[in-house]
């Protein structure tokens, strides 16, 4: 997906990538470490290292309230530009939104982690894997997950507490989530609210 958005300001620029090998000629992947009952998960991940620029600082390290708002607006602009190219980010969260310092003008917003970005489909439904980060998910998506939990006899509160992976929770009953541009915008709103609530003094406190 990064190929679709690579020339948008505020998106990381990829300079190199390589697969990490567990042993010579054998790519390292999550399937090597999963218990047998999880081997049928649909999204095994290969260990890949990326070299990207620029270097940015976390949104939580904003220097002024004005800079915070400018960067939030910048990330919103990135989401909009990606939409114009038929791409949804799907994980606008606190630590995926950053601040890029520019030498010739004010700092701007920066959006990381396009791993689970998707090409927009007519139905707007996508695998639950990569749906987002729980504290910042839209109400629409939370309702869909709640409905899926109710329908799935294998999902219990204990199951959910034991793992942060929605893919793993629904291993025996794969589901799709209807995700839209508005859900990403709502997630960004929750990022802003999170920072405002936790703000204390000149800088945002990181011990939350």
Query: In the structure, what pLDDT confidence band is assigned to residue 11 with cuts at 50, 70 and 90?
Result: very high
Count of domains for the chain:
1
192 in a structural domain: yes
**Domain ranges, residue 103:** 56-198
Q: Is the pLDDT of residue 207 over 50?
A: no
83 in a structural domain: yes
156 in a structural domain: yes
pTM for this structure?
A: 0.79
150 in a structural domain: yes
Q: What local confidence, expressed as pLDDT, does residue 127 receive?
A: 81
Please report, for the domain that includes residue 77, its CATH number.
1.10.510.10
Give the whole-angstrom CA distance, residue 50 versus residue 106. Answer: 27
Q: Contact, 75 vs 11, CB < 8 A?
A: no
Cα 178 to chain centroid, rounded: 16
26 in a structural domain: no
Average pLDDT of 35-47?
65
167 in a structural domain: yes
Check residues 145 and 12 and name the one with the higher pLDDT: 12
17 in a structural domain: no
């Amino acid at each position: 997906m990064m190929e679709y958005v690579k020339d948008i300001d505020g998106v990381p620029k990829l300079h190199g990538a390589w697969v990490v090998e567990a042993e010579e000629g054998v790519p390292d992947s999550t399937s090597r470490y999963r218990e047998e009952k999880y081997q049928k998960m649909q999204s095994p991940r290969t260990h890949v290292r990326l070299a990207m620029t620029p270097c940015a600082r976390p949104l939580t390290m904003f220097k002024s309230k004005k800079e915070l708002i400018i960067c939030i607006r910048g990330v919103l602009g990135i989401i909009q530009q990606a939409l114009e190219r038929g791409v949804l980010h799907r994980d606008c969260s606190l630590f995926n939104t950053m601040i890029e310092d520019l030498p010739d003008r004010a700092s701007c917003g920066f959006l990381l982690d396009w791993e689970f970005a998707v090409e927009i489909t007519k139905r707007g439904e996508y695998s639950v894997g990569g749906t987002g980060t729980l504290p910042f998910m839209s109400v629409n998506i939370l309702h869909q997950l709640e409905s899926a939990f109710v329908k799935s006899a294998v999902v219990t509160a204990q199951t959910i507490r034991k793992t942060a992976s929605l893919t793993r929770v629904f291993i025996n009953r794969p589901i799709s989530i209807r995700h839209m541009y508005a859900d990403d915008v709502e997630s960004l709103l929750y990022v802003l609210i999170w920072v405002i609530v936790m703000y204390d003094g000149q800088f945002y406190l990181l011990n939350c």
